[in-house]
Amino acid sequence: LAASEDLWVKLSAPYRSKAGLAQAQASLSRLREAFGHSERLVWGSDWPHTRFEAQTDYAAQVAFMEALLPQAEERQRVLCDNPARLFKIERSA
């Protein structure tokens, strides 16, 4: 399915799994392999973390995302550039 230009993957809600950062990193690595890049990956905060308010908050999710995507260029793609392309949002320079 990754060969299809119509498939996008949302990265979100790591607190819903007990697998943790190591599993998320392994999964992201497999997604990069399948897609050949991270051009069709988007981050979703899954806010307001319904039913998980006691386990996580905004700061914890930002820290998790930064650990999962440590390179600023890839974070820019996943957080800004890819969603803009997916939702056809014109961005000013």
Two tokens, residue 48: 């307001």
In a domain, 27, yes or no: yes
For 69, other C-beta atoms within 10 Å of its C-beta total 21
Nearest residue to 11 via CA among 61, 53, 60 = 61
pLDDT-derived band at 49, boundaries 50, 70, 90: low
Residue in the block written with tokens 């399915």:
1
Res 14: pLDDT: 82
Q: Which range marks the domain in which residue 24 is found?
A: 9-46+54-86
> Tokens 């319904």 belong to which residue?
50
Number of domains in the chain: 1
Q: Does residue 91 fall inside a structural domain?
A: no
Residue 4 lies in a domain: no
pLDDT score for 2? 87
